[in-house]
Structure 1
Amino acid sequence: MSIKNSFTKSVFLFSLLSTSLAAVSSVAEAPSTVGAHYVPQSSSKVLAPGEKVTNLFNLNMTTPYILQRITENTYWYQSGFYGTIFYIGDKGVLLFDPLEQRAEPILKSIRSITDKPITAIVYSHDHADHISGADDLLKLLKNSQKEQPKIIASKATNKKMELLESNIKKPTKVLNWPNDTFKFEDLEVQLHGFEHAAHTDDHSAWLLVNERVLHAPDLLNADQPPFWNFAGSERFTYLEQNLKTADALKWDFFNGGHGNIGSHDDFAFHLKFIADLKKEVAKAIGEVPFGYGVDVAKINAHTIMLPTWYGEIAKRATDALRPKYGSYYGFETAVPANAEMVAEYLYSYR
């Protein structure tokens, strides 16, 4: 299958999912990992720190999009389990991460609040599912506003896009890496790049200083245990450091690109969960002999041994964590994969 046909297929599957979501009936939501106080979705009422949107899974499954006002000027958007934020200034709108296949609903959500032009777009990191909606959005804006928005990204993201010959619209304003600041009208926005990053080598956190809002997609999914492969991270190695770095910044609301609106309690939960996971993985490594589960008389290549070993370690760690964490969102799907990443980390670094 060609690359073009692969993308065509993925777009078709996304469309099929979007069409079928409306047919899903309401189901019981998973319990909160942080004892959250939930409030009904509102595009007009601001949140108090620590509050989260109620019934979020069902809203994602049954509505075109969710729009929540976080502060006086910052709004949180989510559809199909992908989220981002936008800030409304005196003259224009600052949008973070134009999500893949979501240009129209994002623009519709913004237009439901304001008719001010979108004057700037920020790329948080070079993953297409978070930024490839830029081209579609620019086409939609072409006839509705006089000037196209500037596109802002870090030097690391810009360099990566060039190196990988990205076909996504390139940045027009590049910030120094790993730390820099820009002004959007009266708003100060700080770039905090992770010099040693777990998710991608250009992964970063963006702090809306005046709003006390932090935007760092794929760092963690709030109100959930860590997602599969720690939100699709390229490595586990530096994740705990990245979480602690972001948690130390001065913010009240967090957008992780997936999951609910986050708080510092979500970071504490993730760090505790990871500590427990590392403990159980280490225990299983000590219990499971290398080659466990492999009939050596029936193989002609040793390559089956390592993944089989990791698989058994992950199973035992998942079983051990289930009594404490098993009722939480996505536990059965996410934890085995995460345990394998931790096993690789603990095996490699001693």
Structure 2
Amino acid sequence: MTHKLRFAAATALALVLSTQSLLAEVPSTVGATYRAESSTEALAPGEKIENLFTKNMKQPYVLQKLTDRVYFYEGGFYGTIFYVGDRGVLLFDPLEGQGPGLLKAIAGVTDLPVTAIVYSHNHADHINDTPVILKAFPGAEIIATAATADQMRHLGSKHPAPTHVLGADEKSFDFEGLTVDVVRALNDAHAHDHAIFVLEGEKVAHIPDVINPDQPPFWAFAGSASYLGYRELVEQIGSLDWDYLSGGHGNVGSRADVTFYLQFLDDLEAAVGQAMGEVPWGFGVDASKLTAHTPMLPAWYDEIARRATESLRSKYGDYYGFEAATPANAEMVAEYLFSYR
């Protein structure tokens, strides 16, 4: 399903549920304190926005103040941040389908123009509405790492090209006196050109699609090519100096979310390892009917993933998206453990 079809499906479901007063909300993975959404009152580090699933289903977008100058935006389950300077706004990742909402949200807190856009990585669902922002603010520069610029050229990207390319030796850039640290991801678990952006002083970090705060890892570790390097990327994020995490999806993140992820990965690896020792090769396949060996490995992984998911359910089953995401993640861990024994 394309991103546009997924967005349309989510929009249709939101319309169906729009008459309901409240949708089901699940427990916090980190025992967070929830606060009412506010564009004027900042969250304290560790606090989260209440009823975020319901808000994503029923509101055009969510806007939450994080610090005096940084705001968290989420619409259609896609999130990002923007920084309000003295002369302009620094916007990260103009999310697909969210350009109009972003413009409205920004206008709700400042009259200043968007003067700079940052691409965190070259995935269309996070940068597709850049033309919407540029139509409103045609003078805005586009900042991206050389890895992202190279990736866009290599793939023949139709998205607006970066106008300010950060070389491999550039560790930060300046926006109106704000230093934004640029930390290249040590592993390309999610994207070949991923970088972590940390707003110094504000202590806000932005890296989509690795940690979904207040949720277990998303299906297939958010579209990662493999499990190889994923844990190390989570650890790298945790090693940096920040109080608030913008993860591209999920709630506002905190240090507790990193701790939760690492514990979940420990438990997932253990559960998969246990299941690998229990499930015999050839499980679920009638060898007398085979015309190729191809079904053997998928059937083996599938049963391992099923058993691992079942073993984790008592501890994690009530959390957001566990049932839909964990089998695919367990299968990826099984492939990783089998390949790199």
Indicate whether the TM-score tops 0.5. Answer: yes
User: Which residue does the alignment assign to 1:93?
Assistant: 89
State the distance in 2 between where 1:178 and 1:263 align.
29
Is 1:299 the counterpart of 2:290? The answer is yes
2:234 to 224, 235, 243: 243
What is the CA RMSD across the aligned residues, in angstroms? Answer: 1.7
Gaps of 5+ in 1: 143-147
Say which of 309, 322, 327 aligns to 1:318: 309
Are residues 1:128 and 2:119 paired? no
Q: Which residue of 2 aligns with 1:217?
A: 208
Question: In 1, distance between residues paired with 2:303 and 2:180?
Answer: 45
Query: Which whole-Å CA distance do the structure 2 matches of 1:259 and 1:293 have between them?
Result: 36
Which of 42, 54, 59 in structure 2 is aligned with 1:58? Answer: 54
Q: 1:208 aligns with which of 199, 214, 224?
A: 199
- Equivalent residues in 2 for 1:180-219 (5 A)? 180-219=171-210
Residue 166 of structure 1 aligns with which residue? 157
Q: 1:178: how far off?
A: 7.2
Q: Which residue in the other structure is 1:281 paired with?
A: 272
1:122 shift after superposition: 0.2
Aligned to 1:157: 148
Q: Determine if the alignment matches structure 1 residue 228 to structure 2 residue 219.
A: yes
Match of 1:145 in 2: none
Contact 2:186 2:236 in 1 (8 A): no
Q: 2: CA distance between counterparts of 1:156 and 1:9?
A: 29
SS in structure 1 at match of 2:171:
strand
What residue identity is the alignment partner of 2:253?
G
1:132-143 maps to which residues of 2 (within 5 A)? 132-142=128-138
Cα deviation, 1:112-155, whole Å, max 9, x if unaligned, reads: 0011010000000011000111012212334xxxxx20000011
TM norm structure 2? 0.96
Distance 2:188 2:289 in 1: 41
User: 1 CA distance for matches of 2:125 and 2:198?
Assistant: 21
Which one of the candidate residues 50, 68, 73 is aligned to 2:69?
A: 73
Distance across 2 between alignment mates of 1:19 and 1:177: 45
> Deviations 1:263-289 (Å, cap 9, x if unpaired)?
010000000000100001011111111
| 1:337 correspondence with 2:328 | yes
Q: CA deviation at 1:176?
A: 2.0
Aligned sequence identity (%): 51
Kindly report which structure 2 residues correspond to 1:237-276, keeping only aligned pairs within 5 A, or say none.
237-276=228-267
| AA in 2 matched with 1:223 | D
CA shift for structure 1 position 13: 4.2
Q: Is the 8 A contact 2:63 2:71 kept in 1?
A: yes
Q: Which residue of 1 aligns with 2:80?
A: 84
> Structure 1, residues 153-191: CA drift from partner, whole Å, max 9, x if none?
011111001111111111001112375210000100011
Aligned to 1:290: 281
- Contact 1:182–1:189, Cα closer than 8 Å, also in 2: yes
The Cα of 1:80 is off from its aligned counterpart by: 0.9
**Is the CA contact (8 Å cut-off) linking 1:24 and 1:62 kept in structure 2?**
no
Letter of the aligned partner of 2:53 in structure 1?
F
Secondary structure in structure 1 of the residue aligned to 2:40: coil
Provide the secondary structure at the position in 1 that maps to 2:294: helix
**Aligned equivalents of 2:132 and 2:11: distance in 1?**
15
Among 29, 36, 40, which residue is 1:44 paired with? 40
Maintained 8 Å contact 2:69/2:83: yes
Deviation at 1:195, TM superposition (A): 3.1
Once residues 15 and 325 of structure 1 are traced to their aligned partners in structure 2, the CA distance between those partners, rounded to angstroms, is: 28
Secondary structure of residue in 1 paired with 2:180: strand
Separation (CA, whole Å) in 1 of partners of 2:17 and 2:86: 36
Corresponding letter in the other structure for 2:184: G
Rounded to whole Å, the distance in 2 between the matches of 1:30 and 1:7 is 26
1:30-49: CA deviation from partner (whole Å, max 9, x where unpaired): 00000001110000001111
- Deviation (angstroms), 1:201: 1.1
User: Structure 2 vs 1, CA of residues 329 and 179 (structure 1 numbering), >3 Å: closer, same or farther?
Assistant: farther
